[in-house]
Chain A
């Protein structure tokens, strides 16, 4: 709490309400949030199917803190919800921040709140910016983005293009109309752009771009879990440090993990959830709006079978064969848990 009490208004002069606000958030937020800002929503644009662009500015017109490509902010929402969004505007523009928010169909207060409740002229409390996905110096850059994972990539491209360095963007999405910032990307000079809507061209051709190790290039990738896993696998032959990944959103609770709890990533949305030791995974999925077929909730009927894309399940059911249990590729979410800290599920 001392951090709360001694925090000063930011150098930008933005309004801070730390003591009032931070007491309602968890210890993770207290540790990680550098500053809180009560910003004005200056512009809302629906820029693609299910994607909302939000521009924020200081209420007094002061300059916002500097940030570098790859940085994100924490958005503090009602119900003690904290969500992380990459800054996707121009790092040189200190008058406004911009984030892109995908409406998650499983949302129960995060993206749905932002999509449905915000109005231009309203306020949004944010913390940050922080950067766990910084842009390193390299001769060449390969950027790979899946869906809303394009957001941290845009300022990176802008920076690299400004330096006159060669870059390639491989950008996939469900459909062209679901892919945000296409026009803006097209206006960035130089580079080689590959726009790959899945309904027109299928999945990204990772073999073509990653099949051959380029010792002078670095790879930046952001997107849903399966894309990151695939890129990680393709880059196993690349030099150490060449690959930089960012998953959509770190869990707001991961840092204060209880013994027996584990984290679950829903691969189709990139969403992460924490399963406490005294709750079932199925309960947590349902609470977060993810419906999974089920009946017995006791590991007998097998109807809540879910594919495991990564991580090691701890099987507590009575019906999966021993071979299937050992293979660890599926699990019954009603009773089974995780041996690893995190599971990625095909949900």
Chain B
């Protein structure tokens, strides 16, 4: 009934909507598979510290979005409608809340909350910030793809939560799931409202394709193994 990708508010993506949806479907599926694989491995060795390590790049994403969104508003915000400035700022606030919530979950599992970019999240973070330098809409496209990717992780996480009883993590991600519908819808609306030229659309596609190839990787069991052995 509600599909936030079909949000109204602009026509700037009309020519590339199908391709964007293919990219987003692909990254959601890759993230879902990566999450399933992580929890299949976790089922064999349900050590809370492993789950904490898996959540660390999640936490970093949340706080990196805060930095990025604030910089996005500072650099480019005045080209947007005031309503969109407000909503981007609201998203930023919610991302900060998510960092706090996921951070609490990590600590409850015996892990440490990242205060600098975790190595496994660096390619993702570098790409995001590179997009911000390239084009006023590119970083929005990249985080929109990244935010959308997370939706593939929710159901496998909730199922694993039932199996292993990490209720607090599930509760937190249920809240995040709601907020991410807002973030995904807002990103799509902003892109559709302000993309005017073919160059704009090319930059949006470039950012989404690049993020498609990165966003799911930190959900894999291999990513956690490498991070813990580093």
Contacts and interface: CB of A to CB of B under 8 A. Distances in A.
A318 B178 contact: no
A296 B182 contact: yes
B90 to A, nearest CB: 7
Contacts of B90: 296
B181 to A, nearest CB: 4
Interface in B66-92: 83, 87, 90
Contacts of B94: 295
Interface in A111-133: none
Nearest to B179: A295
A324 B1 CA distance: 8
A293 B179 CA distance: 10
A318 B7 contact: yes
Contacts of B8: 318-319
Summarize B's interface: helix, strand, loop or mixed: helix
Given A295-B178, A296-B186, A305 B2 contact: yes
A330 B2 CA distance: 11
A301 B1 contact: no
Given A295-B94, A330-B1, A302 B185 contact: yes
Interface string A313-347: 00000111100100000100000000000000000
Contacts of B181: 295, 301-303
A300 B1 contact: no
Nearest to A298: B87
Given A300-B7, A318-B7, A295 B182 contact: yes
Given A296-B87, A300-B189, A319-B7, A305 B1 contact: yes
Interface string A25-68: 00000000000000000000000000000000000000000000
Interface in B168-208: 178-179, 181-182, 185-186, 189
B1 A303 contact: no
A300 B185 contact: yes
Interface of A: 293-296, 298, 300-303, 305, 318-321, 324, 330
Closest 6 A/B residue pairs (Cβ): A302-B2, A301-B182, A296-B182, A301-B181, A295-B182, A300-B185
